[in-house]
Amino acid sequence: MPDADPAPSDAPPVNVICLKWGTRYPADYVNRLYRGVQRHLTRPFNFVCFTEDPAGLDPAIGVTPLDQITVDETLRNDIFLKVAVINSVSGLSGPTLFLDLDVVILGPLDDFFTYERDKFCIIHNWLPWRKTLFRELPDIGNSSVFRFTPGQCDDVLDRFLKDPHHARTAYPTEQAFLTDCMSGRRAYWPDAWTRSFKRHAMRAFPFNLLRAPKLDPNAKVLVFHGRPDPDQALAGYRAGLRKSSRPMAALADHWA
């Protein structure tokens, strides 16, 4: 259970950070994420976007240029860039929640800052249901939503920089590397808090072609990994019989 925390208006601010790099996600994604946090976080917070292109961002959003944090040039266009971001929050203090741009905030966020206060918290990554019939989920996180305290993870980047080639070849993703680095200091979010669009909202074939995806009323964050993105799910997505989905009108009030 989350620790009790009334989150008074004069409580120290917490931090919410995101990463926008490359061209896949426009500034509107950052702004929508910021508005979602505004709607669902009751305590004071700082919202910071790490990006090489701040054009179009809401003026209330803090910006940290990526060229100030890339200690290894090869990280500039690398999935491991998120590892460098974790080490670049020296100007912030207190609990810090990282959110990928392709998540949609559905419910209260305050518990994300009080759950397992002293640990690094992350999603327990999902697998398609058929891959879990005869085995448990692997001990790997999904870094779409994770919380840390500045300084808690500084050794993660050091470990990467000691042997970047090994990190890239031994671990399929940055989140697998990060999860392994935080072993013993890590906790997974309660399953009900973070839900996957693909695994929990989409209907199984052939019902995905007939009925709209469903929202879990208990979920706090809906995670989109891969395609579709939130705007595609809202409009309806076509990608073959099994991966297509009907328009998700229920997402409109949250993706705003």
pLDDT at 76: 59
Bridge partners of residue 146, in order along the sequence: 98, 122
Domain range annotation of the chain: 14-191, 195-251
Token pair, residue 203, equals: 């209907």
pLDDT at 4: 44
The CA-based angle 13-56-98, given to 5 degrees, is 35
Phi first, then psi: what are they for 105, rounded to 5°?
A: -80, 125
Q: Which value, to the nearest 10 degrees, does the dihedral of the CA atoms of residues 57, 74, 185, 216 take?
A: 40
Per residue in 86-126, pLDDT tens? 888 878 889 999 999 999 999 999 999 999 999 999 999 98
Among the CATH numbers 2.40.128.20, 3.40.190.10, 2.60.120.200, 3.90.550.10, which is that of 14-191?
3.90.550.10
Per residue in 219-236, pLDDT tens? 999 999 989 999 999 999
- The 8 Å CB, 24+ separation contacts for 25-30 are 25/101, 25/102, 25/229, 26/56, 27/53, 27/54, 27/55, 27/56, 27/57, 28/56, 29/101, 29/102, 30/57, 30/58, 30/61, 30/101
Bridge partners of residue 186, in order along the sequence: 120
- Where does the pLDDT of residue 129 fall: very low under 50, low under 70, confident under 90, or very high at 90 and above? low
Q: 154 Cβ partners below 8 Å, 6+ apart?
A: 87
Lowest-confidence range among 61-65, 75-79, 154-158, 174-178? 75-79
**Alpha-carbon distance 45 to 147, whole Å?**
14
DSSP state, residue 230:
H
State the pTM of this model: 0.91
Could you tell me the maximum CA-CA distance found in the chain, to the nearest angstrom? 52
For residue 133, pLDDT over 80 is answered with no
Per residue in 164-197, pLDDT tens? 888 888 998 889 999 999 999 999 999 999 999 9
pLDDT at 164: 86
Instruction: Report the relative pairing of strands 221-223 and 103-105 from DSSP bridges.
Output: antiparallel
CA 15 to chain centre: 14
